[in-house]
Every structure is written in structure tokens, then in C-alpha cells.
Amino acid sequence: MAMTITEKILAEHAGEEQVVPGQIIKARVDLLLANDITGPMAFEALEKEGINRVFDPGRVVMVQDHYVPGKDISSSQQSLLLRKYSRMYEIVHYFDVGRAGIEHALLPQEGLVVPGDLVLGADSHTVTYGGIGAFSTGVGSTDLAAAMITGETWLRVPETIRFIYHGKRRRWVGGKDLILYTIGLIGVDGALYRSMEFSGPAASELRQADRFTMCNMAIEAGGKNGIFVPDDVTQRYVEKRSIRTPRYYTSDADARYGRVLEIDVGQIEPQVAFPPLPSNTRPAGEAGDVRIDQVVVGSCTNGWLEDLRTAAEVLKGHRVHPDVRMIIIPATPQIYREAMREGLFEIFLDAGAVISPPTCGPCLGGYMGVLAEGERAVSTTNRNFIGRMGHIKSEVYLAGPAVAAASAVRGRIAPPDEM
């Protein structure tokens, strides 16, 4: 029976020759992930039950990334708990300040997740790893705790929606614009508990960072996972860093899909998602006169080196508007170092931006850019719900790095072509 890439990965991990949408399976996991918010809760569940070991300390990853370096006593206590439990359970892959980055950029960069994996993370944006052809999805801390004990999980096999992108992308249009446009097309529940498979000639031309970005925001359409079929772009990325052997899967030509959508990328302009939903999208050039107070370039969605290069290209030779604060957040220490080596930091500093160490920080309204009442931000993050980045009467407008940089200079939402 023909299967999609998602079905093939799940079938292999369930020990089945084939699986079908709706089927309940028990599957082994390759990697488990938690952070300074969700990790302590998972470990506390184990400790409460008197369990003093995990199924494989080398298959559990703990990352300090949401509130680090510690912003206050409460967040520092959370970080302290994660340190304590990571030592107690002898977790091999534990990342703290100076070595840690934003988890969903750090894991593929370190080669910890590889194509063909089944990954669970106590964070909804674990779906990011579909960018290299893994099945990855978010779970709650107690579900993670159960998998930490057994090395297994249960899943309902999702139906797959196939998105076929064709045509030639306009200048400045990247993965963030494609996924915002797609979410605007189908809505925030348009892929509810479905696999979003991104394909087509225009998708195959995307950089690896853009693929991570698109899969990262599959959850914003309700998706169970997002995924690309691995190709030569994937192989070039993973084969120089993977610590385990990749397993490359593909979708059969006659695989059955619940829905197939074809999208001409040539019709897509740089996008902006207006609050309060990621689906409230429109071209940046049609935003109108929306004055802003802050711009953030970073997060697990757009903190990649390629994103920083794009922002720097738009910013070079310009100054951030005097009414705007601009915050640059490289996703990992390695990305930070490479951006510095390439001279991107000089461009950001000359423009009047501030550079943060790697952190999730402002994305969840944590710190390093929390919004006050009435303030507006253009952000390359992934959510713009009410109160997401601060005060409930603040507003977040989602965009890619090109629109974010242009908006920082103009002091209002602006397309990069204006520059």
C-alpha cells in the first residue's frame, strides 16, 4: 500500500508494514526534548512516582532557552530545577547558558535530530524538525515523562494535506512569507491534527532555514506536524553534523492525501500577519500606516543565520527609526559567532539595533523586549495572540526578516522594496 513520508516514518517506528490515517499506534521514539519551563514538570512527575532513571539518558535533551540568562528569581528557580534533574537523571545532552541556544535551532545544528527520526518535545514548535524529514511533534510534560520512562509513545496517525508550491518567488519572499500566506489561506484550524507536507518545485528551491521556518509554523495551522521530503539540500545540511545515521524517506507517487493544494508562489508578496491571529495575513505593501514601537528579528522561527543576513541586507546603510527599538536575537551561539564573523553585527549596531544572546525571550512575553500597553511590534516570531509579547493591549504583527528590517527603518509596517 502506498504511503506518505509521515505514514512511512510512523509505520517503521511502530513496527508495522503500513499504517493508515486514524489508526492508533504505539511507537518508539528517537529523541525527547524539554526546556527550562517544561523540563522540571516532566522530571517532577518521575520523581513523584519514585522513578530514578530514564529509558536512555543519551536520547533525552534538555535546553535552557526560554528565560536565560535568568531574568528574575522565579525563572532562575526553574533553571536551577532543570540543572538539578539533568544531573540526577544523568542527561547526556544538557545545554546551559553559553552553550545553549533556542532549542529548535540548536538540536538540528548539533546533529541530535536526523532525517527519519520520531521526536517528541514538550514545546509546541517541536514540529520544526520536519524541515529535514523527521516526524516531530509537541506533547505535554506528563506525556513526555511517560516517554522518558518507556522510550515509547502512542499516536493517532494523521491524515496528510499536501501543499504543492510552484512558480518563481519574488525578491524578499522566503519561507516565512510562504507559510504565513498558507495559514492565511487555510486558517488556524485548517490542518487540525493533520500532517502538512510541503512539496513542489518552488519548495525544493528553498534554503534549509526556510524549510525549518515553514515546518515550525505548521502548528499555527493546527498541524500535527510539518514535513519536507529530504533532498540534496537536506543531505548537505545533515551529513556534516549528524551524530546518528539519517534515514531518508519519501512519499510514494500514488500516496493518498486528504487534500492537495497548489500554490503559485509568484503571486505571493512579502506578508504580514495582523493581530490577533497568524491567519490574519495580507501583503506588507497593503498594511496601511501602522506605526510601530519595536521590531524583533529572532526566535526558533527566524533566528537562523540566513535570516540575519536578510535583515542586514535591508538595514545596511540605514538607521532604525528614532521611535523604534530593534532587537536582534541569533538563535544559537554558533549562529551568533558566524553573524559576528561576517560583519552582520556591525551593520546592526551601526543601524541602532541591540543584539541579544540566544533566548526565546520576547517571543512568549518573557523578557528582552516585553511590550507595554498600547505598543506595537513587528516580529519574526510565530504567534501574535492577544498578550503574547506583553500587555494585553499591545499588538504583534508577524513578518519575515526583510519586512521586519524595512519596518524598523520606516517606523511603520513597510515592504522591503520601499528601501
pLDDT tens-place string over residues 323-378:
999 999 999 999 999 999 999 999 999 999 999 999 999 999 999 999 999 999 99
Hunting for cell 523540563 — which residue is that?
A: 39
The pTM of this model reads: 0.97
User: Max Cα separation, the chain?
Assistant: 61
Other beta carbons less than 10 A from residue 352's beta carbon: 17
Q: Write down the architecture of domain 5-262 according to CATH.
A: 2-Layer Sandwich (3.30)
- Residue limits of CATH 3.30.499.10 in the chain: 5-262, 271-418
Beta-carbon contacts of residue 247 (< 8 Å; ≥ 6 apart): 12, 114, 115, 116, 117
Lookup result for grid cell 490515517: 21
Residues 54, 191 contacting (CB under 8 angstroms): no
Cβ distance 223 to 127 under 8 Å?
yes
Q: For residue 145, what pLDDT is reported?
A: 98
Residues of the chain predicted below pLDDT 70: none
Are 218 and 130 contacting, i.e. CB atoms less than 8 angstroms apart?
yes
d(CA 38, CA 301): 19
What residue type is 262 in one-letter code?
E
Per-residue model confidence (pLDDT) at position 419: 86
State the architecture of 271-418 in CATH terms.
2-Layer Sandwich (3.30)
| Per-residue model confidence (pLDDT) at position 1 | 86
> What is the rounded CA–CA span in Å between residue 374 and residue 110?
40
Residue 104 is predicted with a pLDDT of 98
CA–CA distance, 312 with 163 (Å, rounded to integer) = 31
